[in-house]
Amino acid sequence: MVIRSLLVLALTTAVAAADTRVIDGDTIVVDGISIRLAEIDTPETWRPRCAREHELGTAAKNRLIELLDRGELTVVIVGSGGFGRDLAYVYVGEIDVGQTLLNEGLALRWVRGPRAKAARMAIWCPPAAGPAPGR
């Protein structure tokens, strides 16, 4: 627990955007640590389920890159997520990056469970959306 607390303290300090890599619209790597933005979900860019999901996911990823390029980051880790990622709120100055993606319609609020996931997928991949690239 002490090590985890030290990590949180280290990551709540400013981090240069150059030390950050964007994986997709809700996942970044900061100084080698994989971070999932807390409380949001964005469409997938890796193995999307439909062409529309890929387009929306790419838009979310590009906007995240724009936001993070604005300056130093503050990362506040609040828990652990799947796939070895830490859950965190990420700020650029006073801007809550995840909330910005929500406000701009590039992300949806993340809710646990298969029904919630199906609801998100119905938005991103409605029946007329067409197949995903390469599928």
Residue % of the chain over a pLDDT of 70: 81
According to DSSP, residue 127 is labeled G
Cβ proximity of 26 and 41 under 8 Å: yes
pLDDT, position 128: 72
Q: What is the DSSP letter of 94?
A: T
Q: Which pLDDT value is given to residue 134?
A: 62
Q: Is 13 exposed, middle or buried (0-12, 13-18, 19+ CB in 10 A)?
A: exposed
Quick one: pLDDT at residue 4? 42
User: Which domains can be identified in the chain, with CATH numbers?
Assistant: 2-129 (2.40.50.90)
When pLDDT is cut at 50, 70 and 90, the band that residue 127 belongs to is confident
Q: What is the largest CA-CA distance in the chain?
A: 51
* Better-scored residue on pLDDT, 19 or 33: 33
Q: 43: closest CA among 32, 67, 28, 27? A: 27
Nearest alpha carbon to residue 90 among 111, 69, 112, 106: 69
In this structure, what token pair is assigned to residue 6? 């030290």
How far is the C-alpha of 21 from the C-alpha of 76, rounded, in Å? Answer: 17
- Tokens found for residue 129: 């959306």
What would the pLDDT profile of 40-86 be if each residue is shown by its tens digit? 999 999 999 899 999 999 999 999 999 999 989 999 999 988 788 99
From 55, 52, 25, select the one nearest 125 (Cα to Cα).
52
